[in-house]
């Protein structure tokens, strides 16, 4: 007698696609299982801000009637609440937009439907994807933060409410929650996923991202949005480098030790691993990223500043004030320095497939009033390079910790494959 099928909401995207292709699963059954999990857990986790169960199931039934060749056929996506959805309220994490109904879907949402997927619901975000957290809790320990700003997206995937979710990243808004929640967070090369319909914050850095439970799933969905079927199996004998910088002074011992352990395990599994130092010319760009962010965010939120500033949180007010003293000439100079940095960074990847770097100081902190430091994603978001965070260890409180695999600009598939290798090694060694 065959073993009973795992509850559909716990299947990976790849497993669900295979089961639907074989006829042992329908999109409706998968979506229903996700909705039941949302009903069971969302009152505690607070991952979703808007769900229309009837509409989600109607989409699933329609997907089931569609052609079998669509790369995302039948897969339900959670959508971060800074991405427009015309059927669900989109508040951008702010009371200013409570009940707001956009007239059109964001491009990435429309592409989900174009290639056979469906929208499950809206996932919570911090205020305009900045620093003031949502009410979302870490599903692995409700007393701890899930990270931000893609808090709801990470929590939904980690708690089996959705197999995949859209996030965004301007500094570390995907890699940090992925690390805190023990899942995979993929920030593609800047511009790989179209940002039309994203509430802009820092347009020179805003990136649409994906959160999933496996690297394979992240790759399937990212490339599926381009109509492609891509599988990112582990790279054979990857060339890895642990990248040291001044930021390591802020890394907790348990995170540093976890990265050392995964580097050693990767070497035993056939990878080439070495140490490298971040070039001195790139170090100042870490701090510059925040100033560029503040300047652009002040412009992006000009309407809200002029008409609804009283509804801003104190943190957002302070962040926007940081951009007030920057003039156009200084802004253009920062853009030029960022461009030069990207050119210098490219040289590091001549004999390296992926750089290993911490996504956070350590495991998730207790409390939800603060979502943790974003500093470890700052440089890489500014550099526009692909980053994949995978779980590699548990911290002293038993919560997950991840590592970033960072690749060369435009070399997303190789970066995903290197990350898949690291994730596989961590699972085999039972480090994660």
Catalytic residues: 80, 149, 173
CB-facing half-sphere around the CA of 402: CA atoms within 13 A: 34
Task: Of 123, 132, 171, give the one whose Cα is nearest residue 150.
Answer: 123
316, 127 Cβ separation under 8 angstroms: yes
Place of tokens 């290197």: 418
CA separation for the pair 390, 426 (Å, rounded): 9
d(CA 404, CA 68) in angstroms, rounded, equals 34
Burial class (CB in 10 A: 0-12, 13-18, 19+), 4: exposed
What is the spatial distance between Cα 119 and Cα 117, in angstroms, rounded to a whole number?
7
CA distance 391 to 296: 32
Q: CA of 384: how far to CAs of 179, 183, 187, 356, 381, in Å?
A: 20, 22, 9, 16, 5
Q: How many residues does the chain have?
A: 432
CA atoms within 13 A on the CB side of 68: 8
């Amino acid at each position: 007698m065959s073993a009973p099928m795992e509850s559909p909401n716990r299947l990976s995207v790849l497993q669900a696609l295979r089961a639907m292709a074989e006829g042992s699963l329908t999109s409706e059954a998968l979506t229903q299982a996700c909705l039941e999990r949302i009903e069971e857990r969302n009152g505690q986790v607070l991952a979703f801000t808007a769900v229309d169960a009837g509409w989600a199931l109607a989409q699933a039934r329609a997907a089931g009637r569609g052609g079998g060749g669509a790369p995302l056929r039948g897969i339900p996506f959670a959508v971060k609440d800074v991405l427009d959805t015309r059927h669900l309220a989109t508040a951008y994490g702010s009371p200013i937009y409570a009940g707001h109904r956009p007239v059109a879907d964001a491009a990435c949402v429309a592409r989900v439907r174009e290639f056979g997927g469906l929208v499950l619901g809206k996932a919570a975000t911090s205020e305009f994807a900045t620093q003031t957290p949502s009410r979302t809790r870490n599903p692995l320990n409700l007393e701890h933060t899930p990270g931000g700003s893609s808090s709801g997206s990470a929590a939904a995937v980690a708690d089996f409410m959705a197999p995949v979710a859209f996030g965004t990243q301007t500094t570390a808004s995907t890699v940090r929650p992925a690390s805190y929640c023990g899942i995979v967070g993929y920030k593609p090369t800047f511009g790989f996923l179209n940002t039309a319909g994203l509430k802009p914050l820092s347009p020179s850095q805003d990136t649409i991202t994906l959160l999933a439970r496996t690297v394979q799933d992240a790759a399937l969905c990212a490339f599926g949005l381009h109509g492609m079927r891509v599988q990112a199996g582990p790279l054979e004998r990857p060339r890895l480098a642990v990248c040291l910088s001044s930021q390591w002074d802020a890394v907790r011992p348990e995170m540093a030790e976890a990265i050392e352990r995964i580097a050693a395990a990767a070497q035993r599994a056939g990878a080439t691993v070495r140490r490298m130092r971040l070039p001195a010319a790139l170090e100042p760009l870490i701090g510059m990223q925040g100033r560029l962010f503040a300047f652009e965010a002040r412009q992006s939120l000009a309407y809200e500043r002029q008409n609804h500033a009283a509804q801003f949180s104190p943190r957002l007010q302070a962040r926007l004030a940081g951009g007030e003293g920057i003039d156009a000439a200084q802004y253009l100079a920062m853009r030029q320095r960022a461009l030069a940095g990207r050119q210098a960074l490219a040289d590091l990847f001549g004999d390296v497939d992926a750089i290993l770097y911490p996504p956070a100081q350590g495991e998730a902190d207790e409390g939800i009033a603060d979502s943790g430091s974003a500093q470890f994603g700052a440089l890489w978001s500014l550099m526009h390079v692909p980053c994949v965070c995978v779980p590699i260890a548990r911290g002293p409180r038993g919560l997950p910790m991840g590592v970033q695999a960072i690749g060369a600009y435009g070399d997303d598939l190789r970066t995903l494959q290197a990350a898949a290798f690291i994730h596989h090694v961590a699972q085999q060694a039972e480090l994660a």
